[in-house]
Amino acid sequence: MSSAVLPTDVWSHVAGFLNVKDAARLSGESSVRQALFSMLGRRSRLHCKARGQAEASLWSAGVCRSAANLQLHCVCLGTGDLSGRHPLQLTRARPRERAKKLHLGHVWALQRWGEARVLQMRFQSSGDYHQSLIMAHLMRAVPHLSNLDGLMLDCHSYAEMCDHPLWERMLLREAALLMNILLHAASLRVLQLACGFPLPVMPPTLQHIMLSVNSNQVEDLPYILGAAPDLRSLVLSGRSGCSQSVKGRVHLDLAKHRSLTAVAMANVLPAALRIPELCQLSVKVGSTEEANSKVWLLLREQIVAFHIEDPVSRLRHFDLPKILLMAPPIQQVELNFCAIGWDRGPVPLACALAHVPRLLIRSRGEMHLMMPETCSWKSLIIKAESSLHLTYQGDTMYIPTQPAPTFVIRYGGVYAVGLWRLLMLLSKRCIECWHDERVRMTIAVRSWQGELDYPWTCACGACCACLKRTGRLTHLWG
């Protein structure tokens, strides 16, 4: 069926799911242009991503003249790839031409963000030719952001690299921009911030805060967070330049925030931490020593997820943190090490680890695990990039069938017969197993749908992904 045959109301519905590039392409057909942009003119779910391809500049060049009055609800601006994976470059364009295209895209977006609810900015290459011009346009457009509900600003990756005057000037511009936005955004509820300058005082309207902090910024957190009385979720991510946590002498008292329901601490280790009684805590640390910190032991009953990521160390059986062996078990545990166990000392999945509902174990090197006599996992995910060796605590292993756990095992190689013994145990419990030697992966689940990727979602309850999944935020970035 050609596009001209489709009814107008169908195109009006389709318009709400199009990005700028697809809408620009479709708008070239006069038969669908009126229906398409009658919907876009009513401020649809369109996201404008002013990236290296200068998608937005296609509009300003006259491709979509019917959208001259379009107002954007979500604006994404940046000089790098907004996905954060790698810097975006136009390989066929000269530097000055690339800068001109990016500049046109940013200018077009800033002329149509008066009713924007979400603003996402990432500046990770301050040497770009047009970045100072972008800052000037941003400062002039800020007073129009009275409806802004969510703000994401990421500019720390280059701001802390050196003391060159150029970097310092960009740092001051970004600090002034952030302060200006916080001053004019009277209804701002969500803030995601990563910067190299001192953190500003938070607006009282903020409910969800996600901060990437260094050791200096950690000391200012009590004063900064105290200005947000209606705080409901908090994410603190440390950036120390290594796998270890950002440590501070600060006593972080969040108990006075009665509305706070979820706190996530990733590579941040304060001297003391207090949270409301009904608030859940998610923790990520960079070593087993940090996992044994008294800060986490005192809040053991409120921890719902615990993640240890130490890609340069081996986890030995006597190094298991005490917090993971205590009852009741934590709801979700993730262990990520360079290597786990060895021939004479496999890491036992005993005590509370045998009853963690969702357990993920990952190793870049060899992995030696001892399976328990009984378990109550809902899902066990094992990913060994090198050899996998499974031993057993007893002669048999009891695996429940109501409900049956999900086993996902990926490996670089198999040592001895431990894995095949597990498959035999699962088959005796009538749990269907799927094994593919080509991808070196085994999936065992009661009703498997054929997905190759293992099921694993964040459980912190405070990040954007969790807030969107629970329905508390439906319009923000992922």
Answer yes or no: is pLDDT of 285 > 90: yes
What pLDDT is attached to residue 46? 39
Answer yes or no: is pLDDT of 159 > 50: no
| Mean pLDDT of the region 188-207 | 87
Closest by CA to 323, choosing from 352, 357, 281, is 352
**What CA–CA distance (Å, rounded) separates 57 from 51?**
10
| Mean pLDDT of the region 105-128 | 69
Answer yes or no: is pLDDT of 117 > 60: yes
Lowest model confidence (mean pLDDT) among 13-27, 73-87, 198-212, 269-283? 73-87
What pLDDT is attached to residue 253? 93
Answer yes or no: is pLDDT of 241 > 70: no
pLDDT tens for residues 310-368?
999 999 988 999 999 998 899 999 999 999 998 778 999 988 999 999 999 999 999 99
| Mean pLDDT of the region 457-466 | 90
Does 209 or 41 have the greater pLDDT score? Answer: 209
Residue 57: phi and psi, rounded to 5, are -65, -20
Q: Do residues 33 and 8 lie in contact, with contact meaning Cβ atoms separated by under 8 Å?
A: no
Residue 190 confidence class, pLDDT cut points 50, 70, 90: very high
Answer yes or no: is pLDDT of 383 > 80: yes
Answer yes or no: is pLDDT of 109 > 80: no
What pLDDT is attached to residue 470? 84
For 280-405, strand residue ranges (E) read: 280-285, 303-315, 332-340, 347-348, 358-363, 367-371, 379-392
The domain limits of the chain are 291-449
Instruction: Report cis status (omega within 30 of 0) of the bond before 403.
Output: yes
Residue 14 confidence class, pLDDT cut points 50, 70, 90: low
Q: Which long-range contacts (CB under 8 A, 24 or more apart) does 430-439 make?
A: 430/401, 431/399, 431/401, 431/404, 439/410
Lowest model confidence (mean pLDDT) among 198-202, 203-207, 262-266? 198-202
HSE-CB for 253 with a 13 A CA cutoff = 4
Answer yes or no: is pLDDT of 281 > 60: yes
Task: Give Cβ neighbours of residue 297 (< 8 Å, ≥ 6 apart).
Answer: 322, 323
Answer yes or no: is pLDDT of 173 > 60: yes
Answer yes or no: is pLDDT of 44 > 50: no
**How many C-beta atoms lie closer than 10 Å to residue 441's C-beta?**
17
What pLDDT is attached to residue 322? 92
Taking all residues of the chain, what is their mean pLDDT, rounded to a whole number? Answer: 76
Lowest model confidence (mean pLDDT) among 59-63, 117-121, 207-211? 59-63
pLDDT tens for residues 141-158?
777 777 888 998 887 544
| Mean pLDDT of the region 13-18 | 63
Distance of CA 338 to the CA centre of its chain: 23
Q: Which helix (H) or strand (E) holds 182?
A: helix 165-184
What pLDDT is attached to residue 82? 41
Instruction: Report cis status (omega within 30 of 0) of the bond before 87.
Output: no
Residue 19: phi and psi, rounded to 5, are -90, 175
Task: Give Cβ neighbours of residue 43 (< 8 Å, ≥ 6 apart).
Answer: 70, 71, 72, 73, 115
Residue 210: phi and psi, rounded to 5, are -130, 110
What pLDDT is attached to residue 57? 37
Most confident region among 197-211, 272-286, 384-398, 428-442 by mean pLDDT: 272-286
Query: Residue 271: what residue type?
Result: A
Answer yes or no: is pLDDT of 243 > 60: no
pLDDT tens for residues 57-104?
333 334 444 455 666 777 777 655 444 433 333 333 445 555 555 566
Q: Which helix (H) or strand (E) holds 233?
A: strand 233-238
Residue 264 confidence class, pLDDT cut points 50, 70, 90: very high
